[in-house]
Amino acid sequence: MPPAIIVNDVSKKFARSLKRGMIYGLSDMARMALVPRRWQSEGAEARMRDAGNEMRETSCGMRDASSASTESESDSAVPGSLIANPGSRIPTPASRIADPESRISHPVTEAQLRPTEFWALRNVSFTLQPGESVGLLGANGAGKSTLFSVLSGIYAPTYGKVSYRGRLQALIALGAGFHPSLSGRENLYINAAILGLKEKEVSAIYENIVDFSGIGSFIDAPIKNYSSGMIVRLAFSIAVHLDPDILLIDEVLAVGDAAFQLKCAKYARELVNSGKTIVVVSHNMLIIQMMCRRSIWMDHGTILQDGDTHQVTRDYQQFMLMKSAEEKTKSIDSGVRFAAMILQVEWLDAEGRPCPKLTWGKPHQLAIEFEAHEAIEQARFWVEVSAVGKEGLVMGVSMYDDGHYLDIKPGRHRLLVHWDHLPLAQENLYQVCVGVRDWSGQIMLADSFASRLFEVNHHGPLCAGEPAGQTSRLLTPLVAAPYRWTANDGMQLHAFHKPST
Partner 1 sequence: MSGREHPDGYTSYDGIGYERLSLSAWRVMVRELIDYWELIRRLVIRNIAGQFRQSFLGYIWIMLPPIATTVVFSVLQKARVVNIEMPEGSMPYAIFALLGMTVWGYFTQLTMMATTSISNAGGLVSKIYFPREVLVLSAVGNAIVNFLIRLVVVVLTFLLLQYAPHWEIVYYVVLLIPFTLLGVGLGLLLAPINTMMNDVGRLMEFAFQFGMFLAPTVYPTPDIATANDTWQSLLFWAHQINPVSHYLYAAHELVQHGTLTFGPGLQAAVILSFLVFLVGWRFFHAIEPLLAERV
Q: Is 28 one of the binding residues for partner 1 (CB under 8 A)?
A: yes
Alpha carbon separation from 293 to 113, 133, 137, 217, 300 (Å, rounded) = 36, 6, 13, 38, 23
Q: Which position among 55, 137, 168, 406 is part of the footprint of partner 1 (CB under 8 A)? A: 168
Closest CA to 301 of 108, 116, 133: 108
Nearer to partner 1, 159 or 430 (CB): 159
- Residue-level length of the chain: 501
Strand 358-359 and strand 294-299: the pairing is: unpaired
Do the beta carbons of residue 202 and residue 193 sit within 8 Å?
yes
Rule CB under 8 A: say whether 181 interacts with partner 1: yes
- Per DSSP, 488 falls in state -
Cβ proximity to partner 1, 25 vs 482, nearer residue: 25
Under the binding rule (CB under 8 A), the answer on residue 172 touching partner 1 is yes
What's the closest the beta carbon of residue 99 comes to partner 1, in angstroms?
21
When asked if residue 163 is in the footprint of partner 1 (CB under 8 A), the reply is yes
* Residues 185-214 contacting partner 1, CB under 8 A: 186, 189-190, 193-196, 198-199
Kindly tell me which residue out of 43, 61, 79, 177 binds partner 1, with binding defined by CB under 8 A.
Answer: 177
**CB nearer to partner 1: pick between 158 and 365:** 158
* 68 lies in the binding site for partner 1 (CB under 8 A): no
Contact 401, 384 (CB under 8 A): no
Among the listed ranges 26-34, 90-98, 301-309, 419-427, the one in contact with partner 1 (CB under 8 A) is 26-34
- Cα angle 460, 311, 70; round to 5: 105
**166: alpha, beta or left? (left if phi > 0; alpha if psi -120 to 50):** left
Exactly one of 16, 17, 39, 41 binds partner 1 (CB under 8 A); that residue is 41
Residues 6+ apart with CB under 8 A from 95: 63
Longest pairwise C-alpha distance within the chain: 88
**CA 52, 53, 55, 60 torsion-angle sign:** positive
Return d(Cα 51, Cα 57) in angstroms, integer: 10
Shortest distance (Å) from residue 154 CB to partner 1: 5
Decide if 317 contacts 329 (C-beta within 8 A): no
Instruction: Report, in Å, the least distance between residue 176 CB and partner 1.
Output: 4
Distance from chain centroid for Cα 263: 23
Residue 160 interacts with partner 1 (CB under 8 A)? yes
Q: How many CA atoms are closer than 13 Å to the CA of 369, on its beta-carbon side?
A: 10
Instruction: Show Cβ contacts of residue 457 under 8 Å, excluding neighbours closer than 6 positions.
Output: 357, 358, 359, 360, 427
Name which position in 21, 52, 354, 389 contacts partner 1 (CB under 8 A).
Answer: 21
Of residues 130-149, those binding partner 1 (CB under 8 A):
149
The answer to whether 46 contacts partner 1 (rule: CB under 8 A) is no
Question: By CB under 8 A, which span of 35-43, 286-294, 334-342, 360-368 interacts with partner 1?
Answer: 35-43
Give least dist CB 164 to partner 1, A: 6
Q: How far is the CB of 27 from partner 1 (least distance, A)?
A: 11
Could you give the CA distance from residue 155 to residue 147 in angstroms, rounded to a whole number?
Answer: 9
Judged by CB under 8 A, the number of residues near partner 1 is 52
Nearest distance from C-beta of residue 358 to partner 1, angstroms: 48
The piece of 19-27, 371-379, 437-445, 453-461 that touches partner 1 (CB under 8 A) is: 19-27
- Of 37-45, 79-87, 255-263, 406-414, the window that binds partner 1 (rule: CB under 8 A) is 37-45
Q: Which of 384, 389, 392, 391 is nearest to 368 (CA)?
A: 384
Residues at the interface with partner 1 (CB under 8 A): 2, 6, 14, 21-22, 25-26, 28-29, 32-33, 36-37, 40-41, 106, 149-150, 152-166, 168, 170, 172-173, 176-177, 179, 181-182, 186, 189-190, 193-196, 198-199, 222
